[in-house]
């Protein structure tokens, strides 16, 4: 006993040369009470000799990079709260735990929808849609009539397909005669002229401006074909229209030859319009030769005006 520095050691306890209980891992808890007898040197332990786990997450403090994890939160091997989809929002707070990799999320871990239209930013081709606007699957406002003006701004939401419209989504009326361009056979009517339902002067025949032929023939010029394409497209919107295609010449040359030429030219225009979709029943061709001048045949300018093709209504 004179050499025993621990004279009250419990019976059966293993002791060192000084009579004190052994502490093999040097953690301050004797082997007889140490439930973790191989604790690494320097590790803080509890009363049972086991490494401390202050936040009770199953990861000891010495390995725990997040030592203050809230109770009950699932953690990874480093003691930090799990973020299964790696969006920066831990699972315990993540309302959208399966967010695709790389997606931007809000504080709740859900993908951002900056304009609140129901389409997440990653899929939203129109990320600045006004609040309350109805959108399609791409997050863009609807355009029911396909005129390029979204429904929320479209004052004429039923514009016909292909019709040119203004900023309000309404069909253009370039000459302001009350007949939209898409249905206007005479889109350049002078201001103040009283027009019919096809946008043309109620009295005067319809002159096909710019429709010309190669000299002395019934072959239409390339520029004329482009003009007639537009005429055909407009006439197709008036199914009940009945027209005479009237051909006229100047006074140069033989009267009979001019009459024949004007007839062939009228027929050429009729045939082209029919080829572009105008009903054959809607058109008749008639040549008038030089018999109905509208200008002085003594001048080049006058003769040019007299060489013309006109449309005359037969249904009124």
CATH assignment of the domain containing 291: 3.30.1330.60
Q: Which of 75, 98, 114 is the last residue of a domain?
A: 75
Inside any domain, residue 304: yes
Q: What is the pLDDT of residues 82-91, one digit of tens each?
A: 777 777 778 7
pLDDT higher than threshold 80 for residue 155 = yes
**pLDDT band of 122, cuts 50, 70, 90:** confident
Tell whether 187 and 264 lie within a shared domain: no
Which segment, 37-41, 120-124, 166-170, is predicted with the most confidence on average? 166-170
Q: Is the domain of 216 the same as that of 294? A: yes
* Residues 262, 235 share a domain: yes
* Domain assignment present for 86: no
Same domain for 229 and 303, yes or no, is: yes
Query: Is the domain of 166 the same as that of 215?
Result: no
The answer to whether position 268 is within a domain reads yes
Domain extent for 186 = 152-193
Number of domains within the chain: 3
Half-sphere exposure of 311 (CA within 13 A, CB side): 24
Q: Which residue has the tokens 């008639």?
A: 286
Question: Bigger pLDDT: 148 or 45?
Answer: 148
The predicted model scores a pTM of 0.52
Of residues 113 and 191, the one with the higher pLDDT is 191
Residues 67-83 pLDDT 10s: 878 877 788 877 887 77
Asked if residue 127 belongs to a domain, the reply is no
Residues 307 and 210 in one domain: yes
Instruction: State pLDDT tens for residues 169-195.
Output: 998 898 999 998 888 888 888 898 989
What's the confidence (pLDDT) of residue 129? 83
């Amino acid at each position: 006993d004179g050499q025993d520095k621990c004279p009250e050691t419990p019976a059966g306890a293993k002791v060192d040369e000084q009579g004190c209980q052994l502490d093999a891992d040097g953690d301050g808890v004797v082997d007889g009470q140490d439930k973790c007898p191989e604790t690494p040197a320097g590790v803080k332990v509890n009363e049972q000799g086991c490494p401390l786990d202050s936040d009770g997450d199953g990861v000891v403090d010495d390995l725990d990079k997040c030592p203050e994890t809230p109770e009950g939160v699932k953690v990874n091997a480093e003691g930090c709260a799990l973020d299964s989809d790696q969006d920066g929002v831990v699972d315990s707070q993540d309302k959208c735990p399966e967010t695709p990799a790389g997606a931007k999320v809000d504080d709740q871990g859900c993908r951002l929808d900056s304009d609140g239209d129901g389409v997440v930013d990653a899929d939203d081709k129109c990320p600045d849609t006004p609040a309350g606007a109805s959108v399609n699957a791409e997050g863009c406002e609807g355009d029911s009539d396909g005129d390029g003006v979204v429904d929320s701004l479209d004052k004429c939401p039923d514009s016909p397909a292909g019709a040119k419209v203004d900023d309000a989504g309404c069909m253009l009326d370039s000459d302001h005669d009350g007949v939209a361009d898409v249905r206007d056979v005479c889109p350049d009517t002078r201001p103040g002229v009283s027009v019919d339902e096809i946008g043309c002067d109620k009295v005067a025949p319809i002159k096909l401006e710019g429709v010309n032929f190669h000299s002395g023939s019934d072959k239409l010029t390339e520029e004329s074909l482009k003009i007639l394409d537009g005429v055909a497209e407009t006439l197709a919107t008036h199914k009940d229209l009945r027209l005479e295609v009237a051909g006229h010449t100047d006074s140069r040359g033989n009267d009979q030859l001019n009459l024949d030429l004007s007839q062939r030219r009228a027929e050429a225009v009729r045939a082209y319009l029919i080829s572009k979709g105008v009903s054959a029943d809607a058109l008749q061709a008639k040549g008038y030769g030089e018999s109905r001048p509208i200008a002085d045949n003594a001048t080049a300018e006058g003769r040019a005006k007299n060489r013309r093709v006109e449309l005359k209504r037969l249904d009124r």
